[in-house]
C-alpha cells in the first residue's frame, strides 16, 4: 500500500495556496526545480495529476481540489494539536468547522453559532459552498456540521443525519416609506405590485406561487435572487415588496429601515443541521444542537 509522504503534501499545499511554483519556492526557500520534482513524486504516488499546466499557469484538477481539502484539514489539525499541547495562554482551544450553504441567511448562521462565537475557548471556522460539496466534506470529516435550508434524505446519504434546528414564518417586507391606501391585505394587494422573490428553484418560491395562483393574483416581478444575502440587499434598495424570512432582514426591521407587511399564511422557512456518523464527534456540535430555541426563532 502506498504511504503518503507528508513532506511532499506540504509542498503541494504551498503551491496550491500560492498559485504558482515561483511564489511557493520563495516561501519555502527551495528551488523551483526541487519543488517541481517533489510535486511530481506526489502525483506519481497518488496516481493522478493534481494540476493542469497551461501556458506556464497552474490550475487544480478535480483530484487536486479534493487533495487540497484534505491537506487543509491535515495541517490545520496539526496546528491545533501543537496549540493544545503547548496550552497557550492557559486555555485548551477547540475548533468547530461549520459548512454553510452559500444561499443561507448570514443572520441565521450568526444566530445559530452565537454561543460558539462568544466562547473564547472555541475557534469557529465557517466554509460556504453548495450543499453537495459540503456533504462530501462532512463525510470526509473535514467539517463537523453543515447548516442548510434543504434537508438531505437518509436514503440519499445514509451516513448523514438531518434534523430541524429552527423554522420561521415567511413574511412580505417593504421599505419604510412604502404605503397603501388602506392596511395591506394579502393576497389581493399584490395584484400588479412589484415584488422581489427567491429564484424559481426555491421551495419558498414554489409554495408562494401556488398560493397566488389559487387566488388568481398576478404580481409584477421586479427581481429574483437565489441567495438570501442578495434578497436582503435588494429589499433595502428597491421600492418593492420582498418575500423573505424575517431573520434575513432582522437588523433592518429593528432599525425601521424595512417594515413587515404580513406573514404569509402556511408558508415557513425551515433550517437544518446535518451531521455525519463519527467515532469521535466534535463535542461542541451537540451543544449547538441542544440550544433552547431549537425549532423556532424569536425575532
* CATH code, domain carrying 259: 3.40.190.290
Do residues 203 and 181 share a domain?
A: yes
Residues 162 and 149 in one domain: yes
Find out whether 188 and 178 touch, Cβ atoms under 8 Å.
no
Mean pLDDT calculated for residue range 205-218: 94
CA 107 to CA 206: how far, in whole Å?
A: 23
Confidence at 299, pLDDT banded by 50, 70, 90 = very low
Last-in-domain residue among 68, 88, 108: 88
pLDDT of 81 reads 67
Range of the domain at 101: 89-166+272-289
Range ranked top by mean pLDDT from 88-92, 136-140, 191-195: 191-195
Q: List the alpha helices (DSSP H) in the chain.
A: 6-18, 21-28, 32-46, 62-86, 106-112, 114-118, 131-139, 203-215, 228-237, 250-255, 283-289
Here the CATH number for the domain that contains residue 141 is 3.40.190.10
User: Residue 294: inside a domain, yes or no?
Assistant: no
Statement to judge: residues 200 and 237 lie in one domain: yes
Say if residue 146 is in the same domain as residue 285: yes
C-alpha R_g of the chain:
24
Domain presence at residue 243? yes
- Within a domain: 107: yes
pLDDT(190) > 80? yes
Q: Which of 60, 88, 116 represents a domain boundary (last residue)?
A: 88
Q: Which cell goes with 103?
A: 444561499
Give the DSSP letter of residue 296: -
Looking at the fold, whether 101 and 152 belong to one and the same domain comes out as yes
Are 4 and 79 in the same domain?
Answer: yes
- Note the pLDDT of residue 92: 45
Return phi, psi of residue 251, to 5°: -65, -40
Q: 181 pLDDT band (50/70/90 cuts)?
A: low
Work out how many domains the chain is built from and give that number. 3
**Considering 88, 113, 135, which residue would you say is the last residue of a domain?**
88
186: cell is: 394579502
Q: Distance between CA 140 and CA 138 in Å, rounded?
A: 5
CATH of the domain at 33: 1.10.10.10
**298 is a domain residue:** no
| Section 81-98 average pLDDT | 64
At 273, which helix (H) or strand (E)? strand 258-276
Do 116 and 46 share a structural domain?
Answer: no
Query: How many percent of the chain have pLDDT more than 70?
Result: 91
Are residues 71 and 204 located together in one domain of the fold?
Answer: no
Residues 283 and 152 in one domain: yes
Residue 299 domain flag: no
Residues 36-48, mean pLDDT to the nearest whole number: 91
β partners of residue 167? 270
Same domain as 148, residue 102: yes
Flag whether 174 is in a domain: yes
State whether 172 and 262 are in the same domain. yes
Rounded to the nearest 10 degrees, what angle do helices 6-18 and 32-46 cross at? 120
Rounded to 5°, the CA angle 57-77-100 comes to: 75
- Specify if 153 maps to a domain: yes
Q: In whole angstroms, what is the distance from residue 182 CA to residue 185 CA?
A: 8
Q: Do 278 and 143 reside in the same domain of the chain?
A: yes
pLDDT digits (tens, 9 = 90+) for 226-282: 888 899 999 999 999 999 999 889 899 999 999 999 999 989 888 999 998 877 777
Amino acid at each position: 500500500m502506498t504511504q503518503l509522504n507528508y513532506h511532499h503534501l506540504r509542498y503541494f499545499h504551498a503551491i496550491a495556496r500560492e498559485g504558482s511554483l515561483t511564489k511557493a519556492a520563495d516561501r519555502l526557500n527551495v528551488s523551483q526545480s526541487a519543488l517541481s520534482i517533489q510535486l511530481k513524486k506526489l502525483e506519481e504516488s497518488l496516481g493522478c495529476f493534481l494540476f493542469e499546466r497551461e501556458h506556464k499557469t497552474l490550475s487544480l484538477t478535480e483530484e487536486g481540489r479534493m487533495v487540497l481539502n484534505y491537506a487543509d484539514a491535515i495541517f490545520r489539525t496539526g496546528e491545533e494539536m501543537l496549540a493544545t499541547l503547548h496550552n497557550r495562554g492557559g486555555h485548551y482551544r477547540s475548533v468547530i468547522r461549520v459548512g454553510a450553504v452559500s444561499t443561507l441567511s448570514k443572520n441565521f448562521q450568526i444566530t445559530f453559532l452565537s454561543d460558539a462565537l462568544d466562547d473564547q475557548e472555541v475557534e469557529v471556522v465557517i466554509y460556504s459552498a453548495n450543499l453537495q460539496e459540503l456533504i462530501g466534506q462532512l463525510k470526509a470529516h473535514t467539517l463537523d456540521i453543515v447548516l442548510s435550508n434543504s434537508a438531505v434524505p437518509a436514503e440519499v446519504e445514509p451516513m448523514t443525519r438531518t434534523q430541524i434546528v429552527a423554522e420561521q414564518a415567511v413574511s412580505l417586507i417593504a421599505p419604510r416609506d412604502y404605503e397603501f391606501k388602506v392596511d395591506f391585505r394579502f393576497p389581493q394587494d399584490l395584484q400588479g405590485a412589484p415584488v422581489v422573490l427567491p429564484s424559481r428553484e426555491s421551495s419558498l418560491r414554489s409554495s408562494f406561487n401556488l398560493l397566488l395562483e389559487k387566488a388568481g393574483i398576478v404580481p409584477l416581478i421586479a427581481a429574483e435572487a437565489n441567495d438570501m444575502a442578495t434578497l436582503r440587499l435588494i429589499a433595502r434598495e428597491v421600492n418593492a415588496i420582498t418575500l423573505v424570512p424575517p431573520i434575513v432582514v432582522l437588523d433592518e426591521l429593528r432599525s425601521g429601515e424595512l417594515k413587515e407587511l404580513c406573514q404569509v399564511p402556511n408558508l415557513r422557512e425551515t433550517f437544518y443541521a446535518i451531521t455525519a456518523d463519527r467515532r469521535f464527534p466534535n463535542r461542541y456540535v451537540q451543544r449547538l444542537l441542544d440550544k433552547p430555541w431549537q425549532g423556532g426563532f424569536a425575532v
